[in-house]
Copies of this chain bind each other. A is one copy, B any other.
Amino acid sequence: MYVDMPASELPAYRSSQVDPDDFDEFWAATLETSRAAASAVRIEPVESGLTTIDVFDVTFSGWNGQPVKAWLRMPKGATGPLPAIVQFVGYGGGRGHRLEDLFYASSGFAHFQMDTRGQGSGWSLGDTPDPDGTGPQTPGVMTRGIDSRETYYYRRLFTDAVRAVETVRELDSVDASRISVFGISQGGGIALAVAGLVPGLAAVAPCVPFLCDFPRATVITDGYPYKEIGDYLSIHRDRVEPVAGVLAYFDGVNFAKRASAPALFSTSLMDSTCPPSTVHAAYNVYGGERSMSLWQFNGHEGGGIVDVERALEFFRGIVGNA
């Protein structure tokens, strides 16, 4: 069933999220510090048994120079420079198994799939620790370090993601002018953050993105993971305002305003995990060219493989065939 406002009201909806004055300074300083702490990327070929794809185990410098894992998959023997797709992963998952997610490389792209620090134990494997601790929190990562914008978990994860793109840009096998970013759910939210923080991307495809419009998302659904925040605030009753203040620095709405690359979004009218109004909150203020796949009878699975297929066509329309 429909779980949000009528579809006809979605295009005009605007989030009540604020845009902190020092938003750009905060992120500029955050990224600068991490860039300064970076060391050289390590890329090691993996014996996968695949005959059409080469798989590489990548370790790059993420937040504060901390090592972050990724898979790089390339068409067999490709030397490039190829157009690249950097992919981020959904909540609870990691970069997965080396034999999963063969689609983009099978389509001729360099495919860089970033691991998710401290997650990677829910529905897909991860190998990257989150070496920073936490104050009192509810289970999950939504309230890890939520005491301050400095310690919040997503400061580290979004920085990893920016650093992933910057790492890919330096690869000889990649055409730095043809890098797109892609992600589903949390991966879509990360893709939006990257779109707002990294200039010069070719294209962005956030599918059923999470992490958008916290003021509404936290009160319109009982679905997890948004509800982790509500659980926390139901106990930390005096933290409603401060937590809102922290989240403003991490809201996809604010990243969307700052983005300029062409974007293809998707959302579903029956998605109670990432309700369609919260996705439109980001989409409606997106700073670049934009289009939307609106799924009428789907929930959080959105368009599934069709979202992926459309993303590929969208990327090819911009960067050409791989």
Contact = CB atoms under 8 A, between A and B. Distances in A.
A235 interface: yes
B299 A234 contact: yes
Nearest to A137: B121
Contact of A51 (B107, B129, B236): B107
A285 interface: no
Interface string A108-147: 1000000000111111111111111111111111010000
A118 B103 contact: no
Contacts of A49: 107, 309, 312-313, 316
Contact of A133 (B96, B118, B126, B240): B118
A224 to B, nearest CB: 9
Contact of A138 (B122, B128, B240): B122
Q: Which of A133, A220, A303, A313 has the most CB of B within 10 A?
A: A133
The 8 closest A-B pairs by CB, nearest first: A139-B139, A131-B133, A120-B136, A51-B108, A233-B297, A52-B52, A129-B135, A126-B136
Contact of A136 (B127, B140, B219): B127
Contacts of A102: 102-103, 106
Given A126-B136, A234-B298, 16 more contacts: A1-B222, A49-B107, A49-B309, A51-B75, A52-B75, A99-B103, A99-B305, A119-B136, A120-B235, A121-B138, A123-B235, A129-B135, A129-B136, A139-B140, A218-B297, A234-B270
Contacts of A92: 138-139
A71 interface: no
Interface residue tally on A, bucketed by range: 35 or more
Question: Assembly of this chain: how many copies?
Answer: 6
A272 to B, nearest CB: 9
A50 B106 contact: yes
A128 B137 CA distance: 10
A305 to B, nearest CB: 4
A297 B50 contact: no
Interface in A228-250: 230-237, 240
A106 B100 CA distance: 11
Contact of A106 (B52, B297, B305): B52
A94 B137 CA distance: 10
6 contacts: A49-B316, A99-B305, A121-B136, A121-B235, A131-B134, A218-B297
